[in-house]
Chain A
Amino acid sequence: MTAEVPSGLPAAPEFTEPLQEWHRLHVRMLVVRPLNEGIAMLVPILVLLFTGNGEKWRLIASGATVAAILAFSYLIWRTTKYRITDEQVELHTGLLTRKQLAVPRDRIRTVDLTSKPGHRIFGLSAVRIGTGQQDVPGTDGLTLDAVTQQEAERLRLLLLQKGVTPRAAAAEGSPEQPAPLPESEVISQLDLKWLKYAPLSLSGLVAIGALFGVLSNYADDLGLHPVQDLWEWLFENPSLALFAGFLVVLAVAGLILSVPLYVLQFWNYRLTREPDGTVRVQRGLLTTRSVSVEEQRLRGVDVQEPLLVRAGKGAKLAAVTTGLGSKGESNLLLPPAPLSVAHQVSRDVLKVGNDPTTLRLRKHPFAALRRSMVRHTLPWIVIAVGLALFAPSWAWPIPVAVLPFAALVGWDNYRSLGNALDERYLVTRNNSLVRSTVALQRTGIIGWRIQRSFFQRRSGLMTIGATTAAGAGIYHVTDVGESHGLALADEAVPELLRPFLIDTGKSTED
């Protein structure tokens, strides 16, 4: 326990410890990176090669592209190095813009191991290290892409282990592993019965959309414009039957596709509690993923119920925590599964007797229903009026036809609203299309944002936002009655709001 610095004492001078040597990413990345990234370039290259009559420039151009990809991946490999010292993880990378990233080891909250198919063939894995800092969208945090799977596993254990002397565990290449660890405890694993939620999650339709985008991109490269041609043809021969047929085909294809997609994403899904104090999610058929979250930093859970999944009494569960990227549902704790399973997993993960998201939620005032209805229907009314005035006569009935559904969503949105408080968690529920019930640890709340729009003030409502370092950064209690809302915020974090409550009471009165 020599290198662990107890908090509160000044840290030991850095230079007394010899620094661990630098490592490169695994040399097999020279092959894997072109494989993973080259697949995207494969079609354009083939097109380039085979569309012409074998002119020489086509050969040269495609050869140059391949060479450029190879050279690029070599340069990335050459210029990237990392090391793990007693205090921090350092990564130097970049060719033109040199980047030097350093993460203090006691700030590491999550470790995400991802192996794409290319990685897996060569036994590699990318390691993403997350800290308490909120991610800037579009950045990737500190990622080692990639090291061998054994090294990745070693890093996962090493980086999340708090009790072990970092130096002993960090000793590179030494065969001694930390003492045999106790078994990890399985909280949940994939049940094939859950597959029935696959079609309900509409993932198939999303995939068709994505696939369509990619294909039409390639078509554009080839000088074809199938979409435009189809549109023009449709405008010349408008047909309701054709349109309906198209919708049916789309729906069926989406339903069929969603099942393999579910399998692809969630095969071998296992949620475990590891002996080193982390919760770990493993999943994936082709691209495998292992996300470890430090348990102490878990600030709550989010039970998400997309409309159709909710109709089938299902839900998925996400973690509210710091240090996870926003890419590819890295915060997922449970894929779409029966609601009872979601509650049970939530209970086990949070280590509480009763899942806070099953608490009886307090309804919001009637004025909230009015606001919800207006917010959901008004845009469609405006669009309908606008179209009636300025567009051909067939256009305005479309938004009018949507109106009843919008009203239903508005009503359901109001029914979703609710909040509750127990000894440890603030629970708030929002939204209709993807209903989300968030249980947020009260100690994780680091401030309030209380909004009162002009119309909210007229109806005595407010939207209370609890800001936190975890997850989305802010969680709202929407359209709650003023006095109840302030009481809730005051009770959730006792010392914070109290001194201002009397003050604000005065200032709103005069």
Chain B
Amino acid sequence: MSPKSVLLWTMQAATFWLVLFVPQLVVFLLVSRPPTWELALLIATGVVGVLHTAIEPSWRYRVHRWETTPDAVYTLSGWLNQEWRVAPVSRIQTIDTKRGPFQQMLGLSTVTVTTASAAGPVEIEGLAHEVAQRLVVELTNTTQATPGDAT
């Protein structure tokens, strides 16, 4: 997992909280005599936002793990709530790569491995672009070598 992921998550969290905070601030400044609860909400949003943006990315980075073996793909993700996902290579249906706008800026990719189950996609986030491409090729090759319809 690329250390740049911390930056990515920080940008994502900051964006989220700014979207919540800025409109409140605008309203607060424009209204002539704002009620106290509006001020309280504004401060609360600010404090929680700063704390979350400061803590979550590095915590998440410490938790996140991924690994592939010839038999399986494995991820551990989350921060407060954590989740392990394991999918056997023999049951892989599709392998996708996607890059959001922030990820493109940082040269990162997410590789999504889906199985026949609607509940089981395994997402490997925050890979450096070359690593992601190599992984996709590698997984595609091992998947193609496995017979059967993977259900």
> For the complex, is A79 an interface residue (Cβ under 8 Å from B)?
no
Q: With A132-B149, A132-B151, A499-B72 given, is the CB distance from A467 to B117 under 8 Å?
A: yes
- Among A297, A469, A493, A500, point to the contact of B117 (Cβ < 8 A): A469
A residues neighboring B (CB under 8 Å) = 7-8, 107, 132-134, 297, 322, 446-454, 457, 465, 467-469, 472-474, 493, 495-497, 499-500, 503-504, 507
On whether the beta carbons of A500 and B86 are closer than 8 Å, the reply is: yes
A472 to B119, CA, bound (A): 8
On whether the beta carbons of A454 and B67 are closer than 8 Å, the reply is: no
On whether the beta carbons of B115 and A447 are closer than 8 Å, the reply is: yes
> For the complex, is B129 an interface residue (Cβ under 8 Å from A)?
no
> For the complex, is B84 an interface residue (Cβ under 8 Å from A)?
yes
CB of B3 to closest CB in A, whole Å: 17
Interface residues on B, range: 20 to 34
Closest Cβ neighbor of A299 among chain B residues? B151
On whether the beta carbons of A446 and B115 are closer than 8 Å, the reply is: yes
Q: With A446-B120, A473-B117 given, is the CB distance from A500 to B81 under 8 Å?
A: no
> For the complex, is B51 an interface residue (Cβ under 8 Å from A)?
no
B residues neighboring A (CB under 8 Å) = 65, 67, 69, 71-72, 74, 76, 80-88, 91, 115-120, 122, 147, 149-151
On whether the beta carbons of A454 and B117 are closer than 8 Å, the reply is: no
On whether the beta carbons of B86 and A496 are closer than 8 Å, the reply is: yes
A452 to B116, CA, bound (A): 24
Name 16 extra pairs, CB < 8 A, besides A450-B84, A452-B82: A132-B151, A446-B117, A446-B120, A446-B150, A447-B85, A447-B87, A447-B91, A448-B86, A451-B81, A467-B119, A469-B151, A472-B119, A473-B117, A495-B71, A500-B84, A504-B76
Closest Cβ neighbor of A472 among chain B residues? B119
Chain B contacts of A457 at CB under 8 A?
82
Chain A contacts of B83 at CB under 8 A?
449-452
Closest Cβ neighbor of A510 among chain B residues? B62
A504 to B67, CA, bound (A): 11
On whether the beta carbons of B84 and A496 are closer than 8 Å, the reply is: no
- Among A450, A453, A473, point to the contact of B118 (Cβ < 8 A): A473
Q: With A468-B117, A473-B117, A504-B76 given, is the CB distance from A499 to B81 under 8 Å?
A: no
